[in-house]
Amino acid sequence: MPPEPSTPASTTPVKDYLDRPAPGASRDYVVIPRSLAQSMPLRWQQVFVGLLADLHDAYADLPWPEYAVVPSRWERLVDLDEEQLAEAGYHADLGPDGELEFRDRAENLVPDPENHRVLARIPDPLPSVDAGRVPPRPAPPL
């Protein structure tokens, strides 16, 4: 018989896992790139589909919205182009001293734009669902 664990297993394993940095996870959402999920081994896909079906069944009565997932990355304000600045709610203009000033939507001056980071749209670095199978590498054990 295996020995009893000295500490009980977590009662919040999803929260525990997603509270640490994880690709595709934010404070409120988990994004699973479809091309990667469809490329996983068959048994993994079967288990995953079962979990998704259980989730959707358990919360089918909620008013699920449509989601628009935008590939983004945290970037320094000074590294963004005009379009990225606008999407993030900022703009840059020359100040009275001839230096570039960054302002937010409310026209507040950003005091340290060199160190101010914002979530900016980027081209998606992951293969699209039309790219075919993306060979996975084995994940290390948890």
What does the pLDDT look like over 23-67, one tens digit per residue? Answer: 999 889 999 999 999 999 999 999 999 999 999 999 999 999 999
Neighbours of 102 (CB within 10 A): 22
Q: Look at residue 7 and tell me whether its pLDDT is greater than 70.
A: no
Query: What pLDDT is attached to residue 103?
Result: 96
Please compute, for residue 52, the number of CA atoms within 13 A of its CA located in the half-sphere on the CB side: 11
Are residues 90 and 118 in contact, defined by beta-carbon separation less than 8 angstroms? Answer: yes
Q: What span, in angstroms and rounded, lies between the C-alpha atoms of 93 and 11?
A: 51
pTM of whole model > 0.85? Answer: no
Contact 120, 80 (CB under 8 A): yes
pLDDT at 4 over 90: no
